[in-house]
Amino acid sequence: MKRATLGAVLIAYAWVTSGVAPFSALSYFLVGIPCLVFVVIYGLLGGLSNGGAISADIRSRSGESTLSTVAPWLALMTAVIVLEAIGLLLGGRSTSVPTLSTTVDHLLAVRWVRCWICLAWLLAGAFQLYQLRQLRRIRDS
């Protein structure tokens, strides 16, 4: 029941937030509330402390990662950024030279898409808090 209620609240919040004019004072306020809640809860769960369970968890998940194992991802991200910059320099909002930002602009024109993106953002933060809470439970038991 708690999860269903939380889910309904997050969906409603995302719907309201997605209907507010962008870059308005209300939009900044509505985006700031979850950010503030996240930081406060993260701090209360010990996420802002130096070291501890979070650092150990990150180290254990990273395993044998080195710069050479993440180099393909870094190259991909660099290519995306370079192509976006070239597209913006060559055409900006041109229909003949589409960029990632123009594609996202078209997606964000629809309220339900903005709602889904906002909901994904809220769930990403909630998932991080859930993971931290689980780590804390394991550490305390």
For the chain, give every domain's residue range: 2-140
- pLDDT, residue 55, reads 67
pLDDT at residue 100, as a whole number: 77
Query: What CA–CA distance (Å, rounded) separates 49 from 117?
Result: 30
Residue with tokens 């308005």: 24
Sign of CA dihedral 72, 74, 75, 81: positive
* Per-residue pLDDT at 26 exceeds 90: yes
Residue 45 pLDDT greater than 90, yes or no: no
pLDDT band at 96 (very low <50, low <70, confident <90, very high): low
Nearest of 85, 105, 87 to residue 96 by alpha carbon = 87
Distance CA 96, CA 71 (A): 32
What predicted TM-score, i.e. pTM, was given to this entire model?
0.72
